[in-house]
Amino acid sequence: DQQVKQNSPSLSVQEGRISILNCDYTNSMFDYFLWYKKYPAEGPTFLISISSIKDKNEDGRFTVFLNKSAKHLSLHIVPSQPGDSAVYFCAASVSNDYKLSFGAGTTVTVRA
């Protein structure tokens, strides 16, 4: 059963605009959340993470928001750049665990 869900398989955004990617989870034990970015023929690359004690974490153009009551997190990319075109995976784990549970991914295309 899918414990992490990314319901939007794709997103197209104009360069310079905001990209918002969404992720929902069902397992209330999850307390650590990550976003990975993946280019074709490469492995996923860690982007940003957030623990459940926070509701926001920012790193440059990337901000992750966590809403624990809704079991929902989102990734904001501002401003979007052509190099951001990739597949983005949401992942979650229990902090003392090692297994990552991934969503199916969202393909982002940034248009010039």
Q: How far is the CB of 106 from another protein (least distance, A)?
A: 10
11 sits near another protein (criterion: CB under 8 A): no
21, 64, 75, 91: which one contacts another protein (CB under 8 A)?
91
Count the residues of the shown chain that bind another protein, applying the rule CB under 8 A: 27
Q: Taking CB under 8 A as the rule, does residue 51 contact another protein?
A: yes
Query: How far apart (Å, rounded) are the C-alpha atoms in residues 91 and 94?
Result: 11
Name all contacts of 38-43 with Cβ < 8 Å and 24+ positions apart. Answer: 38/86, 38/87, 38/88, 38/89, 38/105, 39/86, 39/87
Q: Is 42 exposed, middle or buried (0-12, 13-18, 19+ CB in 10 A)?
A: exposed
Note whether 4 binds another protein by CB under 8 A: yes
Given 69, 70, 99, 112, the residue binding another protein (CB under 8 A): 99
List interacting residues with another protein (CB under 8 A): 4, 6, 32, 34, 36, 41-46, 49, 51, 89, 91, 93, 95-105
